């Protein structure tokens, strides 16, 4: 069988189980990870898995590969990805692997990896691939230990987050692994919880576990309105991302969640730095700076954001996909459950109702993510041409991740996906006329660069 180069993505390793992602391949990845860790002076991995049906066998293959290098393995079983990150801190290894397909369909699975405190992405993942191709392994015999970490993780969140009053909330785990702990956690901090799809089921029988897509929030919206809850929270398949629904059924997308979180952080830590990704509303940096903070825009991707956070020591980071990283009282890793708990704390401390808090957040006229599907590799070539041809008067151009142009009344973005051969676009403005003008300028750039494109706007 030919080597599955395509599973080595920008942020993680991911593929279709028993097709591109086999037990044998995962064992080889384990061998490579073990050799790489030893080269950095690290000899212990924590491993966990989400609720996917293939997780047990893939986890066993991963452990087998790591152990064969001479590294030890602490297996913490079926846990959310944030619990794996938490465990690497508790055991002071800074090194771990979560077997997870995140928000992908049931037939997928994958690996999120960190070594010596660094989440693997980009060139570091390619380095693991090269070790496999070169058979650059070491031989040894590590030891396997099984530990239970869910209760310690839950207790840590409950001890950190304090509610000034009880809250009535709905939580939708989408049958993802967050359901293994979410109900206990939110009841533990003082919430009256209505559960939706909190049974862990790797078939995802109710809806896809991806809160970044509006269609996956419909059950939560209906339940919030039916129960009169103060708000609803949805988690993705491995619970490292958060979705939020207001009492009126409107969605509070992550860049607007970040408005609330950043204001709260800046009240406690004046002047703090806050990182956001290129897809976020321009309202966010303006609001951060208006509240005395330092706003830093960075590349999309949880691995890239986490690396920037580690380098800068910022107090908070977040991206439009729903990954939120608290680095003040928490460990600087993306944690949808903890972000949800902090939202509860913030709402409970406010004299206004949740409805009024969410209703007061500034908003814009904006598009969802618009996608231009292309042939494999072609989107990178077109992105390079667009960057060369880009000339925008009265706009501030950023090329840190694709092409983002900020105007006085909005912004436009085109960036290449790191996971599929797709150009992703997003536009916002304070007025409908402004939105049309900004889209028109980007349309002109695209068509003049390559005629015949079927644009999604």
Instruction: List the end-to-end C-alpha distance of the chain, in Å, as a whole number.
Output: 41
- The answer to whether the CB of 176 falls within 8 A of the CB of 235 is yes
Tell me if residue 264 is catalytic: no
- CA 56-42-119 angle, to 5 degrees, is 65
Residue 263 φ/ψ, nearest 5 degrees:
-60, -40
Q: Cite the DSSP H helix spans in 72-217.
A: 81-90, 123-134, 150-160, 182-188
The Cα 141–Cα 131 span in angstroms is 19
DSSP per-residue string spanning 345-377: HHHHH-SS-HHHHHHTS---EE---EEEE-STT
Residue 186: partners with Cβ closer than 8 Å, 6 or more residues away: 169, 171, 193, 340, 341, 344
Structure tokens at 418: 């790191």
Pair of tokens at residue 428 = 């916002």
Strand pairing category for 324-326 and 44-49? unpaired
Q: Which of the residues 102, 262, 303, 321 is marked catalytic? A: 102
3-state helix, strand, coil in the chain (%, to 5): 40, 25, 40
Helix (H) or strand (E) holding 283: helix 283-290
Query: What are the helix and strand counts (H, E) for the chain?
Result: 14, 22
Catalytically active residues, by annotation: 102
């Amino acid at each position: 069988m030919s080597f599955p180069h395509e599973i080595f993505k920008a942020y993680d390793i991911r593929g279709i189980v028993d097709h591109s992602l086999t037990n044998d391949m995962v064992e080889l990845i384990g061998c490579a990870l073990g050799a790489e860790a030893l080269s950095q002076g690290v000899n212990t991995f924590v491993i966990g898995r989400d609720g996917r049906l293939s997780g047990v066998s893939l986890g066993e293959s991963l452990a087998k590969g790591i152990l064969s290098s001479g590294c030890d393995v602490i297996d913490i079983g079926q846990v959310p990805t944030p619990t794996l990150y938490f465990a690497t801190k508790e055991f002071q290894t800074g090194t771990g692997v979560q077997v997870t397909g995140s928000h992908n369909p049931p037939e997928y699975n994958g690996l999120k990896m960190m070594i010596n405190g660094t989440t693997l992405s980009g060139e570091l993942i390619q380095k693991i691939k090269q070790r496999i191709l070169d058979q650059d392994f070491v031989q040894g015999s590590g030891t396997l230990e099984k530990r239970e970490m869910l209760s310690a993780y839950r207790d840590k969140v409950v001890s950190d987050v304090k509610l000034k009053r009880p809250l009535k909330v709905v939580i939708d785990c989408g049958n993802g692994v967050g359901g293994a702990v979410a109900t206990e956690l939110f009841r533990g901090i003082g919430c009256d919880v209505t559960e939706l799809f909190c049974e862990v089921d790797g078939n995802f029988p109710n809806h896809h576990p991806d809160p970044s897509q509006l269609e996956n929030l419909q059950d939560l919206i209906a339940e919030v309105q039916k129960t009169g809850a103060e708000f609803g929270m949805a988690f993705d398949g491995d619970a490292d991302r958060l979705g939020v629904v207001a009492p009126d059924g409107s969605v509070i997308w992550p860049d607007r969640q970040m408005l609330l979180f950043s204001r709260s952080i800046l009240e406690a830590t004046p002047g703090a730095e806050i990182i956001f990704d290129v897809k976020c509303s321009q309202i966010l940096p303006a609001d951060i700076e208006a509240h005395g903070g330092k706003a830093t825009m960075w590349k999309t991707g949880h691995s890239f954001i986490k690396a920037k956070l580690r380098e800068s020591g910022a107090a908070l980071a977040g991206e439009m996909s729903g990954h939120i990283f608290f680095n003040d009282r928490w460990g600087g890793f993306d944690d949808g459950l903890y972000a949800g708990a902090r939202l509860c704390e913030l709402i409970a401390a406010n004299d206004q109702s949740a409805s009024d808090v969410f209703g007061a957040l500034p908003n814009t006229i904006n598009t969802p993510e618009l996608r231009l599907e292309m042939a494999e590799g072609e989107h990178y070539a077109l992105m390079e041409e667009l960057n060369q041809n880009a000339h925008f008067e009265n706009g501030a151009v950023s090329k840190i991740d694709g092409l983002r142009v900020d105007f006085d009344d909005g912004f436009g973005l085109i960036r290449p996906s790191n996971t599929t051969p797709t150009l992703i676009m997003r536009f916002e403005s304070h007025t409908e006329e402004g939105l049309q003008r900004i889209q028109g300028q980007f349309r002109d750039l695209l068509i003049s660069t390559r005629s015949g494109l079927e644009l999604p706007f």
